[in-house]
Copies of this chain bind each other. A is one copy, B any other.
Amino acid sequence: MKAAFIIFDQMTTLDLIGAYDPLTRLKSMNILPEFEWDMCSLTQKVADDRGLRFFPDTAGEPLGEYDLIFVPGGFGTRSLQFDTEFTAWIQTASSAKLKVSVCTGALLLGSAGFLAGKRATTHPIAFNELEPYCQSVVDQRVVDEGDVITGRGVSSSIDLGLFLVERLAGADARRRIAQQMDYPYWNLS
């Protein structure tokens, strides 16, 4: 199982890290030692919507080798959803068995065509923007369509990350990772 965490300029970092933390504990807590991941971007350098700068692990490489792609949201999605080069890059992940977004990252899955005929969610301020890309917009914290899973706003990333942990490694792994994260709200969403 290899995951691509997609990073881009003007993303919201909590959208990314909320799920990155529980998912990468699958490896660090030795629950799924074979779980691997890369931070993938189209550009050499990335800064979030408040200036925090990251190094990607891969830049401009196609995404065909990944089993899971995770797309965060943020202000950058508003223009990237109409950027044909970026969209073509996301589409190289079409064979990924799990396509996941948080917040306005759903607009990027949508512009790549991955939400066609699916139920999906996003930050409530972007419900209208998401509508053209999917069958219906759902006001739930996590929306599971099997191979496509979307989370609502920013902090829902933690809940979605724990949801994925359970999908990949079972309910006991979710409980153990939530405890290690000291997350008392793990069973509320």
Binding site for B on A (CB under 8 A): 12-14, 17-18, 20-21, 24, 27-28, 39, 49-55, 57, 103, 123-124, 141, 152-156, 158, 180-185, 188-189
Q: Establish whether residues A52 and B39, one from each chain, have CB atoms under 8 Å apart when the complex forms.
A: yes
Contact between chains at B181 and A21 (CB < 8 Å): no
Give Cα A62–Cα B189 distance, bound, in whole angstroms.
43
State whether A156 touches B182 (Cβ < 8 A). yes
Which B residues lie within 8 Å of A185 (CB)? 185, 188
Chain B neighbourhood of A152, CB < 8 A? 182
Which residues of chain B are near A21, meaning CB under 8 Å?
12-14, 154-155
Cα distance A154–B153 when bound, in Å?
20
Q: Which among B18, B27, B189 is the interface contact of A14 at CB below 8 angstroms? A: B18
